[in-house]
Chains A and B, each alone.
Chain A
Amino acid sequence: MTTATQGTPTEGTATGLPRLLPRHGQQPEDWYAHVARVGRLPYRDAPGRLISDLQAAGLTGRGGAAFPVHRKLAAVLEAAQARRRPPVVIANGAESEPASDKDATLLWLAPHLVLDGLQLAAEAVGAEQAILYTHADRRNDVGRRLRQAIAQRQAVAVDRVPVELAEAPPRFLAGQETALVNHLAGGPAIPTFTPPRITERGLAGAPTLVQNVETLAHLALIARRGPRWFRQVGTEAEPGSMLCTIRRSDGVPRITEVPLGVPLRALLAGPGEQGLREGAVLIGGYHGTWVPAAEAAKLTLDNHGLRRAGARVGAGILITLPQDRCGLVETALVVRYLALESAGQCGPCLNGLPRIAAALAELAGARPRRGTRANVERWAGLVTGRGACHHPDGAARFVRSALTTFAAELGRHERGRCGATDTTPFLPVPHGSAHTEQDWI
């Protein structure tokens, strides 16, 4: 396994990274630059053939859930054959985590790698329809860029399956698989109940494959270079590389491609910084886990390594909370946002999240009432596992980790004090929440 050394970026020839993003500069790649870098599109000319390569590579989904990619493809192919119904393939670029920017960056710099992956995935499951679902029109004009890329591919006649662009509403849950399918079917982007799984019955009842855009980019490279190449970085159990959005104390998001299993210490200390002594690190975004910095410094970025801290890799979001900020205040602001982003369909989430948010706001203020903390803990337990989607579970995980990681800060607030010297919000929280059903469409 290749790992980065402390304090240095992981790009470089030693690790063969970056794989996904162009090595030089921030200039978006057109079709010819893309082909010059990674070579032509290696169609396999029959469904199914790529799936065994993906299994050997051990590629897992990079959207957050880390589900084995070959299993999803095999399930869709099997459902399609059993029901004699051509499946639909959807590239999910609706990066709705406010703290994440890796999918938008990938789509901006290397759109053809994602579109290659979409074609190859479509071929692997025998799909006749492909959709690229993103927040493109809202972010850096990625939409115009993607339309150009699709037009260029049409001009050189490389795509075998037509690709349609679809826009995701600016909601936290817009990228959740069933919400996505519901939205593409003309409804609001809110989750639906499973079963049936979308791999069985998804868009318009067709077996539906949804893969994160980064996952498709890895798939496109595995199809060219093979599973052994893919496994040259990462760990035995969790091979390959992943894109991360890293925010250090300066608050600037940096997109870096790192091998799975890289020490967090190497990622979270900027050049010239000594590393992590105090403070806290948020691992995995707003459904993720706060970890004390001293503990985070001992961890590696893979699900196996993060398990002992109760954390998961998620979509690769890593944030160092500056020491002049209050973790409770930050958490309360995010949980308020998460409560507002609940689709409001399931009783426990609808009732629990606003109560948790209000109680956290109290804990983040001066001299909270006795019993408020116990209420938060009880409600966090009560919402977990009781929604149609994992939104309440993720919010509860985030909240619980805040209560343990910021235990000392809780004590200060009980005495009417706060450790923050800077009260400007640090974690990015979008303004505006959904008021009518139109806001979900």
Chain B
Amino acid sequence: MSEKLLVNPIECEGHGACAELLPEMITLDEWGYPVVDGRPLPAALERDARAAVSACPTLALRLVRC
């Protein structure tokens, strides 16, 4: 079953940890907030994605089914 990244923009405070851990899927905009690739997550990136999810200080990043 494939998953995708979902950011809760209300919780997100732009710490930027996610973009550091998963640059393949997440970049930061000019204000430091994540621009998330919403396409299904490639299996090869699953580990890094989970690391990015757990690194978010505000728990704003999630992996959801798609």
Q: Any chain B CB within 8 A of the CB of A192?
A: yes
Contacts of B12 in A (CB 8 A): 346-347
Is the Cβ of A347 less than 8 Å from the Cβ of B33?
A: yes
Within 8 A of A (CB), among B1-22: 8-14
How far apart sit A382 and B29, CA to CA, in the bound complex (Å)? Answer: 8
> Which of A193, A351, A382 is B10 in contact with, Cβ under 8 Å?
A193
Interface string of A139-165 (1 = CB under 8 A from B): 000000000000000000000000000
Contacts of A345 in B (CB 8 A): 9-10
Report if A347-B14 is in contact (Cβ < 8 Å); known contacts: A386-B33, A386-B35: yes
Is the Cβ of B31 less than 8 Å from the Cβ of A193?
A: no
Is the Cβ of A193 less than 8 Å from the Cβ of B35?
A: no
Instruction: Name which residue of chain B comes closest to A347, CB basis.
Output: B33
Contacts of B10 in A (CB 8 A): 191-193, 345-346, 388
Is the Cβ of A388 less than 8 Å from the Cβ of B31?
A: no
Is the Cβ of A386 less than 8 Å from the Cβ of B9?
A: yes
Q: How many A-B residue pairs have CB under 8 A?
A: 36
Contacts of A352 in B (CB 8 A): 31
Is the Cβ of A382 less than 8 Å from the Cβ of B30?
A: yes
Instruction: Name which residue of chain A comes closest to B36, CB basis.
Output: A386
How far apart sit A382 and B12, CA to CA, in the bound complex (Å)? Answer: 16
Q: Any chain B CB within 8 A of the CB of A387?
A: yes
- How many residues in B have their beta carbons less than 8 Å from beta carbons of A? 13
Within the complex, the shortest CB–CB distance from B33 to chain A, in Å, comes to 4
- Among B8, B13, B29, residue most surrounded by chain A Cβ atoms (within 10 Å): B29
How far apart sit A236 and B6, CA to CA, in the bound complex (Å)? Answer: 37
Is the Cβ of B29 less than 8 Å from the Cβ of A193?
A: no
Q: Any chain B CB within 8 A of the CB of A348?
A: yes
Contacts of A351 in B (CB 8 A): 31, 33
Is the Cβ of B11 less than 8 Å from the Cβ of A348?
A: no
Interface string of A367-395 (1 = CB under 8 A from B): 00000000000000010001110000000
Is the Cβ of A347 less than 8 Å from the Cβ of B9?
A: yes
Is the Cβ of B33 less than 8 Å from the Cβ of A387?
A: no
How far apart sit A191 and B14, CA to CA, in the bound complex (Å)? Answer: 19
How far apart sit A170 and B11, CA to CA, in the bound complex (Å)? Answer: 25
Interface string of B32-55 (1 = CB under 8 A from A): 110100000000000000000000
Within 8 A of B (CB), among A339-355: 345-349, 351-352
How far apart sit A408 and B61, CA to CA, in the bound complex (Å)? Answer: 44
How far apart sit A225 and B32, CA to CA, in the bound complex (Å)? Answer: 55
How far apart sit A348 and B12, CA to CA, in the bound complex (Å)? Answer: 10
How far apart sit A193 and B60, CA to CA, in the bound complex (Å)? Answer: 11
Is the Cβ of A193 less than 8 Å from the Cβ of B33?
A: no
Within the complex, the shortest CB–CB distance from A394 to chain B, in Å, comes to 15
How far apart sit A346 and B34, CA to CA, in the bound complex (Å)? Answer: 11
Is the Cβ of A193 less than 8 Å from the Cβ of B14?
A: no
Instruction: Name which residue of chain B comes closest to A352, CB basis.
Output: B31
- Residue numbers of B with Cβ under 8 A of A are 8-14, 29-33, 35
A-B contact pairs, 11 of them (CB 8 A): A191-B10, A193-B8, A193-B9, A346-B12, A347-B32, A347-B33, A351-B33, A382-B30, A386-B33, A386-B35, A388-B9
> Apart from A347-B9, A382-B35, what are 14 other A-B pairs with CB-CB below 8 Å?
A193-B10, A345-B9, A346-B9, A347-B14, A347-B31, A347-B33, A348-B33, A349-B9, A351-B33, A382-B29, A382-B30, A386-B35, A388-B8, A388-B9
